[in-house]
Structures are given as C-alpha cells and as structure tokens.
Amino acid sequence: GAGVSQSPSNKVTEKGKDVELRCDPISGHTALYWYRQSLGQGLEFLIYFQGNSAPDKSGLPSDRFSAERTGGSVSTLTIQRTQQEDSAVYLCASSDFHGTGNQPQHFGDGTRLSIL
C-alpha cells in the first residue's frame, strides 16, 4: 500500500514568510508524528497526534510553529514568520495506535525547507 506522503518535497522561501507543510499518513494509522532533521541538532521530535488530538505541544520550538490534523488523517505543520534557523528537513511519520509507544513509525520522504 501507499506509504507516508509529504508535500512539497522542497520549499524555498524568504525569511518572514509563512509556510505550510503537509503530511498524508498511511491509511488507518491513528498516530502521526512530526520530526525535524538538521545538521546541528540531528532528529528532533516536534509533535504527536493521536487521532486529531495533540496532547502535548511542548516539543514545538517556538510559538511560530503550529500543527493540526483533520479527519484523523492529513496533518499540516505551519511555520509563521520563518527564520533562517527553521531551515531543515521536516519529516512526518505514522504508526498504528501505539498504546505504549512500541509500534514502528513509518516515515515519509520529508520536506526540505530552505529559508533565504
């Protein structure tokens, strides 16, 4: 079946603009995760959704970052007033309902975000 799909693959934008990144998880996966991968920080967890709910948003790096998920499926990660330090690859993953966090997460190809 289809894997996790992310769009766009690449996004180049000017500092100060808003960007929206989209994630379409594997059908039937109730858990959805956003991570950020950058050279200096490695792979950082941003936010987790179980269904449409994100119980803890403390992983988001600043209040310029927000995320939502609708219909228990597609999720969007929005970055407002982008800064150069936001440049990174944003990865989305999904898994079956994790219960105790043991289900493998399956990752999309990521969105490479470059802020000029």
Partner 1 sequence: AQKVTQAQTEISVVEKEDVTLDCVYETRDTTYYLFWYKQPPSGELVFLIRRNSFDEQNEISGRYSWNFQKSTSSFNFTITASQVVDSAVYFCALSEAGRSQGNLIFGKGTKLSVKP
Among residues 59, 61, 72, 76, which is the contact residue for partner 1, using CB under 8 A? 59
Task: Name the residue among 111, 116, 115 with its Cα closest to residue 34.
Answer: 111
Among residues 31, 77, 79, 113, which is the contact residue for partner 1, using CB under 8 A? 31
- Using CA atoms, how far apart are residues 110 and 26, in angstroms rounded to an integer? 14
Task: Determine, following the binding rule CB under 8 A, whether residue 109 of this chain makes contact with partner 1.
Answer: yes
Which of 42, 71 has the CB closer to partner 1? 42
Write down the number of H helices and E strands in the chain.
0, 10
Task: Determine, following the binding rule CB under 8 A, whether residue 42 of this chain makes contact with partner 1.
Answer: yes
Task: Determine, following the binding rule CB under 8 A, whether residue 74 of this chain makes contact with partner 1.
Answer: no
Q: What is the DSSP string of 35-104?
A: EEEETTTEEEEEEEEETTB-S--TTSSSTTEEEEE-TTS-EEEEE-S--GGG-EEEEEEEES--TTT-SP
Q: What's the min distance (Å) between Cβ of 66 and partner 1?
A: 17
Task: Determine, following the binding rule CB under 8 A, whether residue 32 of this chain makes contact with partner 1.
Answer: no
Residues forming the site for partner 1 (CB under 8 A): 31, 33, 35, 42-43, 45, 48, 55-56, 59, 89, 91, 93, 95, 98, 100-110
